[in-house]
Amino acid sequence: MLQPKPLFNPQADTSYGKRRLIGGETSNLMMLSNNKYGWSYPLYKTMMQNFWIPEEISLGQDKMQYETLETAERETFDKVISFLVFLDSLQTVNLPNINDYVTLPEVNLLLNIQTYQEALHSQSYGYVLESIVGPEQQQRIYDIAVKDPFLLKRNRYIADCYQEFIDRQSEVGFVKVMMANYILEGIYFYAGFSFFYNLARFGKMTGVGTEIKYINRDELTHLALFQNMFRELRKEQPELFTPALEAELREMMKVALDYESEWAAYAIGDRIQGLNIALIEQYLRYISNYRLEAIGLTPLYPEVDQDPLPFIRQFTNFNQTKTDFFEEKVINYAKAGSDLDLDGLDELDL
């Protein structure tokens, strides 16, 4: 069993050797000038400097364009945004459940910032919806996540992966809930992102595309956080990563890809200019290889070594976030001359 950490433990031995991601000793004092994990402070700075405000992106033109989208595009838009609302909502609510078991203050801090960013993402979808449709339509779109039988089944599966750790906590369970989180962040979001980037490259709903781009920039830091957590846990508790558990983690990825392909067939299909099911399926397999390798697991589809949707890279080149995405107003709150370094994120090649 894995125990949640006590709220305050003045007797804790917080020498470096005793500090661990889970099951370590912590007084719960935020000793943030003395972090064990060297990567945590640069990541903290990047996450803080990524601060953005959804309302600063104008959606006036998107409102008009939404009405003129092809019917299939509009239907897909509604389904995809409802799914993204679900994913970010679940993240906001569930990350504290993971954080309760993390015994390193610097990671507690980062998970809290991530939680706030997930809430911001939900708010950005609210802003998108209130900008383009009336209240009744907004409710109809939110309801897709819980009423559309296909999406409901899918969302139940994702929530159940998290619920399992809420119901039964163990060290192996912690690794699995980290994996579930990593898949949500690194795979599930991406079919949705690809839909919006695809619309944007045809000049459609570019304000929403910009919102998605800022969300995507945050998500990259969340992936970096979980990749680093995996690496540290492997170093601290290598005995946890048995061949059986690793096989299970790869299987989780495989099931996720199958679900995602089914979803893409249902929500996106072959009705959208510039996208088709085969391309999306290949794209998700392609990025899953990177995701698995980044946490020390063997890729599932090594034969898929070409990016089938290279246009997405134009939207995710985050070293260019200091200039405009789609000639929108520049949003960058980092101080001039800051030493913010996004190179590390691009190296992740996500």
Q: Check the annotation: does 121 bind a ligand.
A: yes
Q: Could you confirm whether 127 is annotated as catalytic?
A: no
Region binding Fe ion by CB under 5 A among candidate stretches 76-84, 119-127, 171-179, 326-334: 119-127
Size of the site for Fe ion (CB under 5 A): 6
- 347 annotated as belonging to a binding site for a ligand: no
Of the pair 110, 144, the CB lying nearest Fe ion is at: 110
State yes or no: 222 annotated in a binding site.
Answer: yes
> Binder to Fe ion among 73, 118, 148, 281 (CB under 5 A)?
118
- Is 185 marked as binding a ligand? yes
Q: What is the footprint of Fe ion within residues 172-201 (CB under 5 A)?
A: 185
3-state DSSP of the chain: CCCCCCCCCCCCCCCHHHCCCECCCCCCCCCCCCCCCCCHHHHHHHHHHCCCCHHHCCCHHHHHHHHHCCHHHHHHHHHHHHHHHHHHHHHHHHHHHHHCCECCHHHHHHHHHHHHHHHHHHHHHHHHHHHHCCHHHHHHHHHHHHHCHHHHHHHHHHHHHHHHHHHCCCHHHHHHHHHHHHHHHHHHHHHHHHHHHHHHHCCCCHHHHHHHHHHHHHHHHHHHHHHHHHHHHHHHCHHHCCHHHHHHHHHHHHHHHHHHHHHHHHHCCCCCCCCCHHHHHHHHHHHHHHHHHHCCCCCCCCCCCCCCCCHHHHHCCHHHCCCCCCCCCCCCCCCCCCCCCCHHHHHCCC
Cβ-based nearer residue to Fe ion, 20 or 154: 154
Nearer to Fe ion, 151 or 183 (CB): 183
Residue nearer to Fe ion on the CB measure, 90 or 304:
90
Regarding 211 and contact with Fe ion (CB under 5 A), the answer is no
Q: What are phi and psi of 270, to 5 degrees?
A: -110, 30
Is there a binding annotation on residue 293?
no
Closest to Fe ion by CB, 78 vs 185, is 185
88: contact with Fe ion by CB under 5 A = yes
Only segment of 30-38, 168-176, 212-220, 233-241 that touches Fe ion (CB under 5 A):
212-220
Q: Which of 73, 106, 148, 219 binds Fe ion (CB under 5 A)?
A: 219
Query: Which of residues 204, 222, 285, 291 is near Fe ion by CB under 5 A?
Result: 222
44, 66, 125, 283: which one is catalytic? 125
Point out which residues bind Fe ion (CB under 5 A): 88, 118, 121, 185, 219, 222
Binding-site residues, please? 88, 118, 121, 185, 219, 222
Catalytic residues: 125
Binding-site residues for Fe cation, please? 88, 118, 121, 185, 219, 222
